[in-house]
Amino acid sequence: PALTFEAFSVGEENRLAFDSARAAVARPGAVNPLVIYGEAGLGKTHLLSAIGHAAHEAGRAVLFATAERFGNDYVRALNGQLESFRSRYRGCDVLIIDDVQFLEGKEKFQEEFFHAFNDLHAMGKQVVIAADRAPSQIEGLGAALRSRLQWGLIADMQKPSYETRLAILRAKAARHTSTLPDDVLAAIADRCCPSVRELEGYLN
């Protein structure tokens, strides 16, 4: 519940991804698919969750899963439950898949996701993907699926600048109802943490 748009600290390094995420909620299907990529710990899952919360509040049916969960659900469904699996993943208004690089080299999973994507796209439903690399750099993706992922908007997330790190620290400290002196927050922000998670670890 804490991972909303309002709780996300926006900087130049993530503004395109943030604005695109808001657009995916405001105009479903207009930016389709939306692919957000970047190294671990930069806020991709936060943005995906924010999209899910906002779309749910707007009355849309949202399904949020990691690619690993998608694959596991598919394997379980092979025991006579494929129709139920397909109905679940193709019957939502917004499908959000995190860590799509997990599908790398897994042809059967990719094929099933490819068909789910096609059905949702054809119906104007919103598809949102996150990965640790751009689709063009995920070598184990089939050409057809890679092409689909490149249809829409691809937004990268970079490591936060000092100013963004400071804003993140202030926001997280406030949510912990902690008041820390500015020089303490500045000292933490100055550590040049490569990820927001590590930054939060220092704060904690």
Q: Please, which residues have CB within 8 angstroms of residue 200's CB and are 6 or more apart in sequence?
A: 168, 172
Q: Are the C-beta atoms of residues 63 and 96 closer than 8 Å to each other?
A: yes
Per-residue burial over 48-75, b = 16 or more CB atoms within 10 Å of its CB, e = otherwise:
bbbbbbbbeeeebebbbbbbeebbebbe
Q: Please, which residues have CB within 8 angstroms of residue 23's CB and are 6 or more apart in sequence?
A: 30, 31
What's the pTM?
Answer: 0.88
41: left (phi over 0), alpha (psi -120 to 50) or beta: left
CA distances in angstroms from 166 to 78, 114, 151, 169, 185, listed in the order given: 49, 40, 35, 5, 7
Would you state the pLDDT for residue 202?
Answer: 85
Would you state the pLDDT for residue 192?
Answer: 67
14 phi, psi to nearest 5 deg = -130, 10
Rounded Cα gap, residues 8 and 53, in angstroms: 13
Q: Are the C-beta atoms of residues 33 and 128 closer than 8 Å to each other?
A: yes
Kind plus residue range of the DSSP H or E element containing 127: strand 126-131
187 phi, psi to nearest 5 deg = -65, -40
Would you state the pLDDT for residue 120?
Answer: 96
The closest of 70, 69, 65 to 112, measured between CA atoms, is: 70
Question: CB count, 10 Å around CB of 186?
Answer: 14
pLDDT by residue, tens only, the chain of 204 residues: 889 999 998 989 999 999 999 999 999 988 899 999 999 889 999 999 999 999 999 999 999 999 999 999 999 999 999 999 999 999 999 999 999 999 999 999 999 999 999 999 999 999 999 999 999 999 899 999 999 999 999 999 998 888 888 888 888 888 777 678 888 889 888 876 778 888 888 888
Q: Are the C-beta atoms of residues 114 and 145 closer than 8 Å to each other?
A: yes
CA distances in angstroms from 137 to 100, 140, 142, 153, listed in the order given: 12, 9, 12, 16
